[in-house]
Structure 1
Amino acid sequence: MNIQKLHVFMTLVKTRKMTDTANKLGLSTPTVSFHIKSLEEDYGIRLFRTNAGGYRLTDGGEMLYHYAKQLIQINQALEKSVEDYKNGKNGAIKLGASGVPAHLFMPELIHQLAERYPRIKVSLDVKTAPEIEKRLLSQELDCGLIMETGNIEPDLVYVPITKDKIVLAFSSQNHPFALKEAIEEEDIFNQTLLVHRLSSSTGHFSKTWLQEQRLQMEMIHLDSVSTIIKMLSYGKAVALISKRLIENEKHLNYIEFQNQDLERQIYFVYHRHLWVSNPFRYFQELIQKLQREVDFSK
């Protein structure tokens, strides 16, 4: 269905004159006549009869007018909905994040996004970095924050935000390490190690570090950062964990190892062929602001 033809038809119904219809729509009179004849040819019926009062609808024209009004209204609603979607007045944005950046940055980012676009639906999927990359590749998610995995997908855009380091954390009050001025390798042998399961990169780096140090440790994999922090407070375990996650926890202390392999990049990632909506564009602006803030805080 050609919407322009219907607009010409509907306008002629109201004005009843070709010249008035042409002037109102900014068209020539022959163009108006062409659209009306084209509609009649499309449906194989006569739409108007003419007399001294101008153009009046035939019975077939009355039928078309009845449905044309509905089609015009639906089209107007569609155009408004599309425009609202592009401007972030409705629609959705689907975010993903691996464990550490989900905990560090997503709450504030989602809050600011919801403040700017209160009517869109925002969702967050928290999984391992490789799982988030897979969902971004299939465009099930719009964008995400992940820790580096050592893998670069050519169809994804990786924007570095900041770096994070894995440290060995323990209770500053209840763990024996808190009383030591220096910790030797043999001190770690009998420790229980807590690892954040949802951060696959932390698990990878932890395993690599343990192999390099030739350490055999009992490991407990947990899904929750808050659970790890709570268990550390008991003083019965240590954790290889993001420095940014625990550096403000007053009841915890940590050791930084001189190992560049324990430093990781946090990326903002999205599909290079993703359609850029206004909410997504604003989220990019929030990411740029975050980059400046973390650089300034270094």
Structure 2
Amino acid sequence: MNLQKLQVFLSLVETRKMTQTAKLLGLSTPTVSFHIKSLEEDYGVKLFRTNAGGYRLTDVGEMLHHYAKQLSQVNQALVKSVEDYKNGENGSINLGASGVPAQLFMPELIHQLAERYPRIKVSLDVQTAPEIERRLLLQELDCGLLMETGKKEEELMYEPITSDKIVLAFSRSHPFASAPSFEKVDLKEQILLVHRLSSSTGHFSESWLREQKLQMEMIQLDSVSTIIKMLSYGKAVALISKKLIENEDHLAYIEFENKELERQIYFVYHRNLWMGAPFRHFQELVEELKKGG
């Protein structure tokens, strides 16, 4: 597909108006009309229907739009890669991570990457696992470390690194600290701290509470470090990653028998990603991390 036709088509889908598309792209309205007609002639189909609301896609137009967006994303990734090299061997790598692996692994991995490639620009986006997956699908990020969400996207590669458990954590000054097992504690009167429900930890926690038929006062927090700090006051409990708190001397925890609360942490990237030297080195660092447990 001609790239200019592609851009005109995608813009018209967004604006639904010829005049707005022309203004957005710096073209004349007849030029926009010409490109759309030319595209319809190329494929021998009608891509738009018009009504009072402007231009709307036909069924076949919807199909073309699906693939046109992918072509546009690949083209943007290509342009970005070329620009990185044109700007003088600096390059860049855009990393993503959900909360737990971001705290557990990213500081050391980024440090090692920067030592090997001191001139590249490294960025890290910390979001919920579903949001990082979404950005990886759009190739806005090169790769990420994610806690499993219960589903996998076909266009992404998932390489397991290690496993983690959700445990019930609390301060060593909390009454639960003397309880030998989960069966010996009463959660009904407790305040429960959870990572936001849109996160993988929040999702697993919500599912577990539903299965246990527990009604608890719940506080959602965006930061796992804030959860750990609040636990130290001894007034609340939390469903949280075991790996995050097992070395916190002021905290204790109880493990569950439920295997569903054990999750994988994955190294994730797009199947069609171009793998430059910084990416390959980062992948090697992750593999070393995996071997080291």
Q: TM-score, normalised by structure 2?
A: 0.69
2:187 aligns with 188
Q: List per-residue Cα deviations over 1:7-31 (Å, max 9, x = no partner).
A: xxxxxxxxxxxxxxxxxxxxxxxxx
Residue 180 of structure 1 and its aligned partner are, at CA, apart by: 3.0
Distance 2:178 2:144 in 1: 41
Q: List per-residue Cα deviations over 1:234-274 (Å, max 9, x = no partner).
A: 11000000000000001100000000110001000000111
2:190–2:217 Cα contact (<8 Å) kept: yes
1:164–1:242 Cα contact (<8 Å) kept: yes
- Give the AA of the match of 1:193: L
1:219 aligns with 218
Count of equivalent residues = 212
1:93–1:142 Cα contact (<8 Å) kept: yes
In structure 2, relative to structure 1, the CA distance for the partners of 1:199 and 1:248 (3 Å cut) is farther
In structure 2, relative to structure 1, the CA distance for the partners of 1:122 and 1:215 (3 Å cut) is same
2:182–2:256 Cα contact (<8 Å) kept: no
2:108 aligns with 108
Distance 2:178 2:166 in 1: 22
Q: Find the structure with the greater CA-based Rg.
A: 1
Question: Which runs of 4 or more aligned residues in structure 1 lie more than 2 Å from their structure 2 counterparts after TM superposition?
Answer: 81-86, 179-186
In structure 2, relative to structure 1, the CA distance for the partners of 1:121 and 1:145 (3 Å cut) is same
1:100–1:199 Cα contact (<8 Å) kept: no
Secondary structure at the aligned position of 2:159 is classed as: strand
1:157 aligns with 157
1:198–1:223 Cα contact (<8 Å) kept: no
Distance 2:182 2:83 in 1: 61
Secondary structure at the aligned position of 1:181 is classed as: coil
Secondary structure at the aligned position of 1:189 is classed as: coil
- 1:74-153 mapped onto 2 (5 Å cutoff): 85=85, 89-153=89-153
In structure 2, relative to structure 1, the CA distance for the partners of 1:112 and 1:211 (3 Å cut) is same
In structure 2, relative to structure 1, the CA distance for the partners of 1:94 and 1:198 (3 Å cut) is farther
Secondary structure at the aligned position of 2:247 is classed as: coil
Distance 1:120 1:165 in 2: 35
Correspondence 1:238 to 2:237: yes
- Give the AA of the match of 2:168: L
Secondary structure at the aligned position of 1:220 is classed as: strand
Distance 1:167 1:210 in 2: 13
Q: TM-score, normalised by structure 1?
A: 0.68
Q: List per-residue Cα deviations over 1:269-291 (Å, max 9, x = no partner).
A: 00011111000000010011010
Secondary structure at the aligned position of 2:186 is classed as: helix
Secondary structure at the aligned position of 2:292 is classed as: helix
1:275 aligns with 274
Residue 179 of structure 1 and its aligned partner are, at CA, apart by: 2.8
Q: List per-residue Cα deviations over 1:131-186 (Å, max 9, x = no partner).
A: 111100110000000011111111110000010000000001x2111133344366
Distance 1:82 1:135 in 2: 20
In structure 2, relative to structure 1, the CA distance for the partners of 1:181 and 1:165 (3 Å cut) is closer
Residue 198 of structure 1 and its aligned partner are, at CA, apart by: 7.8
Distance 1:102 1:92 in 2: 19
Residue 199 of structure 1 and its aligned partner are, at CA, apart by: 7.0
1:98–1:199 Cα contact (<8 Å) kept: no
Superposition RMSD on alpha carbons, in Å? 2.1
Identity of aligned residues (%): 76
- Gaps of at least 5 residues in structure 2 are 1-80
Distance 1:91 1:212 in 2: 48
